[in-house]
A and B are shown apart, each in its own frame.
Chain A
Amino acid sequence: MERHFERGLEELKETLVRMGGMVDVQLALACRALFDGDAGRAREVMAGDREIDTLDSLIDRKCMDIFALAQPVAVDLRLLMSALAINSQLERIGDIAVNVAERVEPLVPYREFLLGTRLAEMADIARIMVRDSLDSFIRGDAELASRVLVSDDVVDKMDGALFRSLVSSMKEQHELIEPAAHCLILARHIERLADHATNIAEDVIFIVEARQVKHNAGEEIRR
């Protein structure tokens, strides 16, 4: 039997999906701006974050209303709790896009150096992780979510290698310290991206399979 508050849950899901779409676009724009050296696009990204923040507040309010008015249980409850968490992750991903955009201008003179690192590759993987985690939420696909968890290891390894490479560059050529420092920070941002995507994937598994895979509990999947 359909209950009228189910529409509220549907709307909530749609809003989350919309926010995810916006965040995805922000990320794509930011990376494009970074590797193209496009300062104008970077400014677009920074302006676009406001809309994401608005959606963030809206989703929080909607969740509270549904909790108060519909007293959800079981899958509805898990959906709602995870919606709050995913909302927060998405908002932070949006912030990361802004952080990346902030690095565009300072790195414009060092484009070659930038393209010489593996940052672009890392960024691509991280963006795919974000997109996949959102897809898994939309489709309720725990399988896909599990694959996202596995990718996190790849990103971590790349991050480690990049760190060592950048540090040795900095030791060898002191004039590269500035761009290398920016790249280190960018690597941090991208690694965070992967973490947020992982968190979203874990929440999806919680919703769909009622299994809590966060923190240590997730080890069994990664093996």
Chain B
Amino acid sequence: MNDTGRWYLLWRKTKNNAMIAFAAACLVIAVIPLVLIFSYTLLQGISSLNLDFFIQMPKPVGETGGGMANALVGTGILLGLGALIGLPVGIMAGIYLAEYGNNPLGAAVRFLADVLSGIPSIVVGVVAYIIVVLPMKHFSALAGGVALAILMIPTVTRTTEEMIRLVPHSYREAGLAIGIPRWKTTLRIILPTALKGITTGILLAIARAAGETAPLLFTALGNRFWSTAIDQPIASLTVFIYDYTKAPFEDWNRQAWAAGFVLIALIFTISVVFRIVTRSRYEER
């Protein structure tokens, strides 16, 4: 190689390395907010993080200490209700759109789902208020679940549809060709194949719902006492954080930080656990 060639090579290598460095820097920048949030909330709330925090009920005003046991359980129940209502609806809708949705009705449903995902969560809360709280004549965990379900549905639907469309048509054909009815092929062959991707959608939906506060204010309301009844108001982490941050008590503020950290950690854990559990039992060679 002559001198000019050598110079060009050097120039290309430098450009290459510069781009790699730039990309790495962007990665760091992208990860920084997550790291910051984690560490800041941890720092602020660490003093309140102890076993009592997770086990005990909130103490009456004025007393220090106490915990958010009811809020933890409440969030769990609300997410559970929301998933119970929202996931089947979303998955089924996604399946319909993917398998049978190449028609005007399908296009309309798709459009509406997109609209639904853009509605502010507080409006969703009002809707749930109207359709659940008013007829029941009181706030309840069920209403909260419904609100969260409505929030979950668009994400789950769209992701399910995308993931099912991604499954190669050859598996559908193979199933039909051995005499398996269409619906069974979809449910027992296509759906499991798309499961990993659909789980991502489910995760996203649950994560979003776990962090919602506004809709819960009109539906589940919140509860300072222990309650797991579906037809009664119920506490939740987000409302807990909202209440305790507003309060003038420093101890309560610290507890709010701690709760914030717990919420983030919870969502993080949900993601990890889901990925492990739904990892295909059979790894490809």
**Touch A–B, Cβ below 8 Å:** no
Question: CB within 8 Å of B: which residues of A?
Answer: none
